[in-house]
Amino acid sequence: MEANSAVIAVRGLVHRYQDRTALNGVSFDVRPAELFGLLGPNGSGKTTLFRILSTLMVPSSGTATIVGLDAVRQPGALRRHIGVVFQAQSVDPKLTAYENLWHQGHLYGLRGQELKTRIDEILTRVGLLDRASDRVETFSGGMQRRIELAKGLLHHPEVLLLDEPTTGLDPGARRDLWQYLQILRDQEHVSVIVTTHLMEEAERCDRLAILNEGNLVALGTPEELTREIGGDVILLEARDPQSLADRIRSKFHVDASVMDTQVRLEIESGHRFVPDVVEAFPGEIQSLSVSKPTLEDVFIHRTGHRFWNEEAEAAAETGKKKKAKKH
Ligand code: ADP
């Protein structure tokens, strides 16, 4: 795809908080009417990237443009083209759905009949027109998120940015929200960027950028990314996984790694390998699983460690807390 057909172009984005590098040279494009996911574990840099794209923060270096407007040099103009839905609630629960949208419309210079029509339109779009005059505090979590979405969409942005939009929602409300995002893409041709740390959400995106410790480790459709691993993933449970992995490597000349208490292998034809490995190490394998590669496997393949890495998460949390104390 040519660079000029990108709705969002991120080039060599670097961001440092004091001595911590949150983004380490990230580049990618988002295409028109694409549902694009930013997937990464806690601390991988998603929120930092999100804040830069929504013009709330200036990167240490590199550029981000949305519809050709530079996030650092033209933040005011850029903001008119984006809708932003933050993790934290921004609607006023004491006001009705309609009143919340009325105030939001004023911020964007919408007035009178035009605004009324647009509010009706957008409430219909998120399935809440019949609740327009109810206070938002009487809504379920999923409905409140839909009002947030309506707020972000009121001024007809070409791009919608959402930071972990399904946090705190039950599975039914999550599914609904994703359906709305797909409808927006298909019927209004909005480009939707969603940050998530959930694999099952990432799988619903058209394309994904996977982040790890500030680096872009994979970019593509979920199918492309998992296909790249090929074959099967085998996990073996053993009392001494390190020793078993060493011996599997030397006997079968395959790449066996140790993840927590398991030996992990990526093998072309898993079903053929299983009887061989069980026979080669009688009594040593306590359990065994063969599965098709998932996005979690893509992450392991590219980084050498699990997506849920407690050490990395703890380090990321310490970084944030340190910063919070300074203010
Ligand atoms: P994510 O959204 O993927 O959890 P973040 O962008 O919040 O990741 O964080 C990326 C890295 O930057 C982490 O190591 C985190 O500790 C650090 N970080 C984030 N915000 C701050 C801050 N305000 N001050 C210092 N370090 C921060």
Q: Is the Cβ atom of 319 under 6 angstroms away from ligand 1?
A: yes
Structure pTM?
0.88
At 134, the amino acid letter reads D
| Mutation test residue for ligand 1: of 47, 53, 162, 210, the one with most atoms within 8 Å of CB | 47
CA 325 to ligand 1 centroid distance, Å: 14
If you measure from the C-alpha of residue 91 to the centroid of ligand 1, how many angstroms do you get, rounded to a whole number?
25
- Distance (Å) from CA 49 to ligand 1 centroid: 10
Burial code (b: 16+ CB inside 10 Å, e: under 16) for 73-105 equals: eeeeebbebbbbbbeeeebeeeebbbbbbbebb
Query: Atom 14 of ligand 1 has which residue's CA nearest to it?
Result: 316
Cβ of 321 less than 6 Å from ligand 1 = no
Is any ligand 1 atom within 6 A of the Cβ of residue 209?
A: no
Alpha carbon nearest to ligand 1 atom 6, residue: 45
pLDDT of 47-88, one tens digit each? Answer: 999 999 999 999 999 999 999 999 999 999 999 999 999 988
> What separation in Å is there between the alpha carbon of 316 and the centre of ligand 1?
6
Which two tokens mark 287?
A: 């359990």
Q: What is the C-alpha separation between 262 and 235, in angstroms, rounded?
A: 6
pLDDT score recorded for residue 326: 44
Which residue ranges form the domains of the chain, and what is each CATH number? 3-225 (3.40.50.300), 229-326 (3.30.70.260)
CA of 164 from ligand 1 middle (Å) equals 15
- What pLDDT does residue 316 have? 61
Per-residue pLDDT of the chain (327 residues; tens, 9 = 90+): 444 589 999 999 999 999 999 999 999 999 999 999 999 999 999 999 999 999 999 999 999 999 999 999 999 999 999 999 998 889 999 999 999 999 999 998 999 999 999 999 999 988 899 999 999 999 998 899 999 999 999 999 999 999 998 888 888 888 888 998 999 999 989 999 999 999 989 999 999 999 999 999 999 999 999 998 888 999 999 999 999 999 999 999 999 999 888 999 999 889 999 999 999 999 999 999 999 999 999 999 999 888 876 665 666 666 665 555 444
**Model pLDDT, residue 229:** 87
Give the pLDDT score at 308: 79
1 Cα to the center of ligand 1, angstroms: 31
Any ligand 1 atom below 6 A from CB of 42: yes
CA 323 to ligand 1: nearest atom: 24
Mutating to test ligand 1, I would choose from 14, 15, 16, 17 the residue with most ligand atoms within 8 A of its C-beta, which is: 17
Q: What is the 3-state secondary structure (H, E, C) of the chain?
A: CCHHHCCEEEEEEEEEECCEEEEEEEEEEECCCCEEEEECCCCCCHHHHHHHHCCCCCCCEEEEEECCEECCCCHHHHHCCEEEECCCCCCCCCCEHHHHHHHHHHHCCCCHHHHHHHHHHHHHHCCCHHHCCCEHHHCCHHHHHHHHHHHHHCCCCCEEEEECCCCCCCHHHHHHHHHHHHHHHHHHCCEEEEEECCHHHHCCCCEEEEEECCEEEEEECHHHHHHCCCCEEEEEEECCHHHHHHHHHHHHCCCEEEECCEEEEEECCHHHHHHHHHHHCCCCEEEEEEECCCHHHHHHHHHCCCCCCHHHHHHHHHHHHHHHHHC
Query: Nearest C-alpha to atom 15 of ligand 1 is from which residue?
Result: 316
- Give the number of the atom of ligand 1 that is nearest the alpha carbon of residue 318: 16
The rounded Å distance from CA 251 to ligand 1 centre is 43
Atom of ligand 1 nearest to the CA of 163: 2
Going by alpha carbons, the residue nearest to atom 21 of ligand 1 is 320
